[in-house]
Amino acid sequence: MKEVGSFEQWLDIMTMEPQLLLFVKTDHCSVCDGLYPQVAELEDDYSFPFYKVNVAQVPEMAGQLSLFTAPVILLFHQEKETARFARFVPMEELKHRMAELVEWGKGDA
């Protein structure tokens, strides 16, 4: 997973990537630490890139994306948020929404 280091970098990523997953974590978050490896393990199975950000280090991301808890997983298609999962993420539902994203990407080609 690629690291987002600033809000400006995030804006650049959004314009360059037609689809992506963003994993949002924070410091001292045991739920984040437990969920991260499960999500990272999926990265090789999907054609779009995975990014992560620690909102304790990039607090502007939390405000700009209306993030009030962590972890949060956001899926984006054409710069629009298509799905949001917060705290306890049902992995099967996440995989289903990620498969939808892949299908939408095929329609863009």
CATH number of the domain that residue 16 is part of: 3.40.30.10
Quick check: 16 pLDDT over 70? Answer: yes
Strand 2-3, strand 19-25: pairing: unpaired
Separation of alpha carbons 77 and 13, rounded Å? 12
- pLDDT per position as a tens digit, 26-60: 999 999 999 999 999 999 999 999 999 999 999 99
Which residue range forms the structural domain that includes residue 53? Answer: 2-108
The confidence score (pLDDT) of residue 21 equals 98
CB contact set of 14 (below 8 Å; sequence gap of 6+)? 20, 76, 79
The confidence score (pLDDT) of residue 109 equals 55
Count structural domains, the chain. Answer: 1
Percent of the chain with pLDDT over 70: 98
* Gyration radius of the chain over CA positions: 13
